[in-house]
Amino acid sequence: MTNKALIRVRMSCHDAHYGGNLVDGARMLNLFGDVATELLIRNDGDEGLFKAYDNVEFIAPVYAGDYIEATGEIVSCGNSSRKMVFEARKVIVPRPDISDSAADALEEPIVVCRASGTCVVPKKCQRKNN
């Protein structure tokens, strides 16, 4: 069973939804959905379906230009359900105060969002023995 996955994405101006280039929190959930899909493919050989989030916590703002690292882990498996936990961290921030192209890699990533939820892979779609 592969139970961890990670993706890193730069937030663009297209991701900014609010004034001040603030990114909509739903974008983090979109990243978690991508992480969940990878976990299900690796674990079951099928994309499965995201059934529900049971907890979502937005912790810090995300802006256009930020690099976000989203991680997920399968923490338990049922017959067809897969319980997962997710975390999104800001790892690089732009520094427009210095120049248009300046950026800093953060020594200590900033947690911006945490969530947990359940995905389902129907028995007939599970292609791997776990």
pLDDT of residue 129: 65
How many structural domains are present in the chain? 1
Task: Give yes or no for residue 130 having a pLDDT over 70.
Answer: no
Q: C-alpha angle with apex 68: 26 to 43, nearest 5 degrees?
A: 80
User: Residue 77: is it exposed, middle or buried by C-beta count within 10 angstroms (0-12/13-18/19+)?
Assistant: middle
Residue-range definition of the domain harbouring residue 12? 4-125
Residue 8 lies in a domain: yes
Residue 41 lies in a domain: yes
Q: What is the CATH number of the domain that holds 69?
A: 3.10.129.10
Residue 130 lies in a domain: no
pLDDT tens-digit profile of 70-93? 999 999 999 999 999 999 999 999
Residue 92 lies in a domain: yes
What is the pTM (predicted TM-score) of this model?
A: 0.92
The amino acid sitting at 111 is V
* Tokens 């802006």 -> residue: 63
Residue 28 lies in a domain: yes
pLDDT tens-digit profile of 1-18? 568 999 999 999 999 889
Residue 71 lies in a domain: yes
Residue 66 lies in a domain: yes
| Separation between Cα atoms, residue 89 and residue 84, nearest integer Å | 17
Residue 28 has phi, psi (to 5 degrees) of -65, -40
Q: 13 by DSSP, 3-state: which?
A: coil
Residue 76 lies in a domain: yes
